[in-house]
Amino acid sequence: MQQGQLDAETIPLRLGTRRSPLAMAQSGMVAREVSRATGRPVELVEITTYGDTSREHLAQIGGTGVFVSALRDALLAGEIDFAVHSLKDLPTAAPEGLLLAAIPEREDVRDALVAREGLDLETLVEKCAGRPVRIGTGSPRRMAQLNAWARSRGQEIETVPIRGNVDTRIGYTHSGELDAVVLATAGLNRLGRSAEISQHLAPELMLPAPGQGALAIECRADAPELAAALGALDHLPTRAAVAAERALLAALEAGCSAPVAALARLEEHELRLEGVIGTTDGATLLMMSTTGPLPLDGTAEQTARALGHALAARLLDGGAAGLMGERV
């Protein structure tokens, strides 16, 4: 082996990541996998995004892209070699000059309730008889489905907008300010905090955000060798599922300020896609699903996107445009 090759193999790859504990945990997991796949060391480069510094609620600052743009700028500037994102934070439009090199196998897609005394949702509502249960979440999607669940039982929930990292959010339940908070199960698992989950909220109760539980590994389009190496981490069934979910989101022209949920699940050789759009007060919830064949080959992603577009068209025909609030 020549000295130049040896030097190249020992130079660390620079992985750009947000500074939050969850982002660091996720990026650390990916760094270890990339190092195994490439034989090269990987160092984390911490980058602060606008979404990390703003104290406004996500619906107010637009949501989509606020945790991503600074990482993408660093990639395009050559300050980092690749970046790791929570896939649900990625805008649906493909950025010029960048490539989604890998989507690793998805974690648990479900939302999780973290409640005082470890109570589940039913018991929490019963114990708070006489007053609304106060549940914290920064997600209009979660607000819509929680309120719809309560309305279906003739009960009332007060959804409280919150921001902050996992410690901050769970802290609201410890202080008594809130009865519970809703977080992504995947994030709690990756932080080693699954024991704090009071209840996993099944998709039948609360459909997740498009791309929830999945990570995205992005690099520059002019780095084909790195893209090919990162591709070793790609999981085709996950890529196809999130392609369907994100295609639905894109066709609806909806962002994080819209209460839109979607989940695609591979069942044998078919992909089942469910979509939900509602008003945040839970008064109206539009739910539809569709199923189509999915060959797990080079056409999988394109086929999945077509399924997402088809379901979006049906949702729009059913009145979805009037339920999404702000359009982006």
Residues forming the active site: 89
- The number of C-alpha atoms within 13 Å of 271 and in the hemisphere containing its C-beta is 30
What token pair was written down for 218?
A: 């992005």
What token pair was written down for 14?
A: 């620079």
What token pair was written down for 53?
A: 């510094």
Cα→Cα distances 30→25, 47, 223, Å: 9, 16, 18
What token pair was written down for 302?
A: 């394109």
In contact, 299 and 237? CB cutoff 8 Å? no
In contact, 149 and 135? CB cutoff 8 Å? no
First to last CA, the chain: 53
DSSP labels, 51-113? HHH--S-HHHHT-TTTTTHHHHHHHHTTS-SEEEEEGGGS-SSPPTTEEEEE-PPP----EEE
What token pair was written down for 299?
A: 């056409």
Three-state DSSP string of 15-46:
EEECCCHHHHHHHHHHHHHHHHHHCCCEEEEE
Name 21's Cβ contacts closer than 8 Å, sequence gap at least 6: 165, 166, 167, 191
